[in-house]
Every structure is written in structure tokens, then in C-alpha cells.
Amino acid sequence: MGSELLLLSNSTVHGMTYLEHAMSAIQEFLGDIRKVYFAPYALADYDDYTAKAQTVFEPLGISLVGLHTQEKPQEALKEAKALFVGGGNSFRLLKSLQQLNLLEVVRQRVEAGALRYMGSSAGTNMACPTLRTTNDMPIVQPDSFASFGLIPFQINPHYIEPDPRLVYMGETRKDRLEQFLEENDVAILGMREGAWLRRSGQKLYLNGTVGARLFRRQQESVEIEAGTDLSWLLDLPARFDQK
């Protein structure tokens, strides 16, 4: 048994309700698991965020338990079968995960096939080796940018092409990802809103309602359609801080 991951670019597709676009993928992913732990640390109000997520899971007969309600979140995760890490601010999320000492226990249990990991947006970024391709503002300072590292490449959630109507001189998303590649020799999958990745052991597929764009150092970026087998990305070397 290997890692079982469901990594959503985002939680809410325009015109749909929270997680609605990915419900069938979530049900397939969880199978007969009836209890999921929820990491709400990316937003400020943990109770409110957990209650929102519960409205999606409870109608499926799945109990969603906020990790913040547990006296010892690390102990809870040692027994958990599934973890959902919600979106929000990646820096705030990573800082909390570090302070609570949750990175190593999750990594070990996911890699052992004992814990299923589902993320959306910032929660998907956390599955990468680092948060270096987040879109979020660095509102707090984590000890390190290293995150769960459940895949060996980076994801850019909410990936979007620049709007040609916009009169804005700041960097486009593509500019930012190219800056990342100047400093790091690591592939980045720019996942559009509505896309998700499903890893099952050494198999990895892009799925969802839209595609993604793959960026690699000194290569033209390429379009990846929904349904594509991306298992080869699991074997790519990742070299950070390689100027």
C-alpha cells in the first residue's frame, strides 16, 4: 500500500457550492471511511470553518472532526484514517502545523498507506515539498517553508492566465512561476480552478472539470488535459535552491 491523495486546486468553483464540483471524487476517495479529521488552521475562525465543511460531509454520513477540538491533535492523527486540510492562508496553516508537530506523523502515516490525505488550495500546497508556489500573502512567519512533501513536485493552486483586459503591471502568475524556476529546479503543476490530482500509490492522474499547465526549468510550459496519467512526475528529481 502506498500514498492515497486527493489534491483539489480549490474548494469552490464559480457558481457552485463549497466542494460541490468534486463530490463524486471525494466519495470515491473516502470509500467506506466514516470519520475524517479536518485541519482548519488556514483560516482564523476554526469553529466556523469546521462547521462549514461539516455541511458537506455530514449528509454523506461522514463525521468531520476539527483537529482543533482535540486535546492532542498529533495523537488523534496516529489513529486517523483520513485527513482533510482546508484552504486559506498557507503561511498561517504551515506555522500551525509546525507548532503542533503534525508534519512528521502525517507524512509517515500517509506514506505507509495508513492515512488518506485530502487537501484543497492551501491544503493542496501543503502536500508539496514546500509552500514556495503558494499565491498567499506571508502574513505570519513559519519556522521553515518545508511542508508535508507527499509528492516530489510543486503545485500552484488557482492557476490562471493573465486577463488581457487588466491594466496591471505587477507580475502575472506565469512570471511568478518562472521566477520560482530561476531559483529551483523543480516541476510545477499550475492547476486551474476545478482541477484535482488523484494519487494512488505510484499512480497519479489529473482529473476534474478543467486542465492544468506544467512548468519546468528551461522548457516551454505544456498543457495537461483532465484525465492525463502524470505518474512520471512522481519520479522526477526536485532540486531546491539551484540557481
Taking the C-alpha atoms of residue 28 and residue 13, their distance in angstroms, rounded to an integer, is 19
Edge-first strand order for the sheet with 222-224 is 154-159, 188-192, 212-215, 222-224
Query: Applying CB under 8 A, which of residues 32, 71, 163, 235 lies at the interface with its own copies?
Result: 163
Phi then psi dihedrals of residue 34, to 5 deg: -115, 5
The residue among 5 and 94 lying less far from its own copies, judged by its C-beta, is 94
Query: Applying CB under 8 A, which of residues 24, 164, 165, 235 lies at the interface with its own copies?
Result: 165
Q: Which stretch binds its own copies (CB under 8 A): 65-73, 128-136, 204-212, 213-221?
A: 128-136
- Give the H or E element holding residue 159: strand 154-159
Q: CA 77 → CA 27, 188, 195, 226, 235, distances in Å?
A: 21, 29, 27, 32, 28
Catalytic residue among 3, 9, 136, 147: 136
The residue among 163 and 223 lying less far from its own copies, judged by its C-beta, is 163
Q: Is 183 in the site for its own copies (CB under 8 A)?
A: yes
Of residues 4 through 23, those in contact with its own copies by CB under 8 A are 10, 12-14
The residue among 50 and 121 lying less far from its own copies, judged by its C-beta, is 121
Taking the C-alpha atoms of residue 114 and residue 91, their distance in angstroms, rounded to an integer, is 27
Q: Is 164 in the site for its own copies (CB under 8 A)?
A: no
Strands 35-39 and 82-85: parallel
Q: Is 144 in the site for its own copies (CB under 8 A)?
A: yes
Q: Is 161 in the site for its own copies (CB under 8 A)?
A: no
Q: Is 160 in the site for its own copies (CB under 8 A)?
A: yes
Taking the C-alpha atoms of residue 104 and residue 86, their distance in angstroms, rounded to an integer, is 18
Q: What's the min distance (Å) between Cβ of 221 and its own copies?
A: 16
Got the DSSP string for 162-231? PPTT----SPPHHHHHHHHHHH-B--EEEEETTEEEEEETTEEEEEESS-EEEE-TTS--EEE-TT-B-G
Q: Is 216 in the site for its own copies (CB under 8 A)?
A: no
Query: Applying CB under 8 A, which of residues 174, 176, 216, 217 lies at the interface with its own copies?
Result: 176
C-alpha 97: how far from its chain's center? 14
Q: Is 35 in the site for its own copies (CB under 8 A)?
A: no
Residues lying near its own copies in the complex (CB under 8 A): 10, 12-14, 44, 88-89, 92, 121, 130-141, 144-145, 157-158, 160, 163, 165-171, 176-177, 179-180, 182-184, 193, 241, 243
**Would you name the residues annotated as active-site residues?**
121, 136, 158
